[in-house]
C-alpha cells in the first residue's frame, strides 16, 4: 500500500500542489497525512500517524524529499528507520527520482543522500541571503521584519517624560515600554542632550 504525506511550513501556506500530485499518483485522500509545521520541529503529528500506519511492504510517497525533514541527518535517519521496517519512500517531483522500495538499487540510495544534502545547503544559503538583506537594510536605515504595534498613548507619554528629563529606567517603569521599543519609536534627539542616553544607568 502507498501512504501519502504532505507538509508546508506555516498554516498560511497551501497544501494544494502536493495533494494534487499525490492524487494524480493514485493515492486516495484517506491514505494521505498532512502537517502544517516546520520540518525543523520533531512535533509533526501527521508524519507520526503516517509512520504508524506503514507496514512492511508499504511505501511512503511525498512530493519531494525535503517534506520529510530539514537536515541530512534527520532525513537519512528516517530513511534508515523505514528501511529496517521494510517500508520504502518514493518521491514524485525531485530532480533525482527516489524509490527506496527497491533497496538493492545503489542509485536510489545515492539520490537520497544527494537530495537531502542539496536541500540543507539551499536552506543555509537562503538564510545567509536573508541575513545579508537585513544587514543591508539596517545599514541604509530601513527596518525589516514584522511591523511592531506600539500603544500610541504610551509612546506619547514616553515623549513627555523624556522631555522632562527622566532617565531610561524611569520611562520604562512608568510606561511599561521596553528600552528597545523606546529607542525604535521615539523621535531622535541630538547626542548629548537625550536623557535616555546621558542619564540612563
Q: Tens of pLDDT along 100-130?
A: 877 665 556 666 666 666 666 666 666 677 7
Task: For residue 141, tell me if it sits in a domain.
Answer: no
Do residues 82 and 175 both lie within one domain? no
Largest separation between any pair of C-alpha atoms in the chain: 78
pLDDT at 40: 62
Do residues 190 and 110 both lie within one domain? no
Beta strands (DSSP E) in 57-172 are 59-62, 88-91
pLDDT at 195: 47
Do residues 102 and 6 both lie within one domain? yes
Task: For residue 133, tell me if it sits in a domain.
Answer: no
pLDDT at 55: 94
pLDDT at 27: 95
Residues of the chain with pLDDT under 50: 190, 193-201
Whole-number Å distance between alpha carbons of 53 and 66? 21
**How many CA within 13 A on the CB side of residue 1?**
12
pLDDT at 146: 56
pLDDT at 153: 76
- Domain count of the chain? 2
Q: Which residues on neighbouring strands pair with residue 7, listed in sequence order? A: 35
Which of 112, 127, 142 marks a domain boundary?
A: 127
pLDDT at 201: 46
pLDDT at 21: 94
Residues belonging to the active site: 9
Asked whether the beta carbons of 49 and 71 are under 8 A apart, the reply is no
Amino acid at each position: 500500500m502507498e501512504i501519502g504525506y504532505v507538509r508546508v511550513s506555516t498554516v498560511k501556506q497551501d497544501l494544494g500542489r502536493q495533494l494534487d500530485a499525490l492524487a494524480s499518483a493514485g493515492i486516495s485522500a484517506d491514505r494521505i497525512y498532512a502537517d502544517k509545521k516546520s520540518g525543523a520541529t520533531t512535533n509533526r503529528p501527521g508524519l507520526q500517524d503516517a509512520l504508524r500506519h506503514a507496514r512492511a511492504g508499504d511505501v511512503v510517497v511525498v512530493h519531494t524529499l525535503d517534506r520529510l525533514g530539514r537536515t541530512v541527518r534527520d532525513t537519512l535517519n528516517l530513511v534508515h528507520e523505514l528501511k529496517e521496517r521494510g517500508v520504502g519512500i518514493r518521491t514524485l517531483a525531485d530532480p533525482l527520482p527516489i524509490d527506496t522500495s527497491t533497496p538493492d538499487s545503489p542509485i536510489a540510495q545515492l539520490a537520497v543522500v544527494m537530495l537531502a544534502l542539496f536541500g540543507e545547503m539551499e536552506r543555509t544559503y537562503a538564510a545567509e541571503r536573508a541575513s545579508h538583506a537585513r544587514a543591508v537594510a539596517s545599514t541604509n536605515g530601513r527596518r525589516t521584519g514584522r511591523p511592531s504595534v506600539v500603544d500610541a498613548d504610551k509612546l506619547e507619554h514616553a515623549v513627555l517624560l523624556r522631555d522632562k528629563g527622566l532617565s531610561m529606567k524611569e520611562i520604562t517603569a512608568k510606561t511599561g515600554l521596553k528600552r528597545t521599543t523606546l529607542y525604535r519609536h521615539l523621535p531622535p534627539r541630538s547626542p548629548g542632550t537625550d536623557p535616555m542616553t546621558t542619564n540612563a544607568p
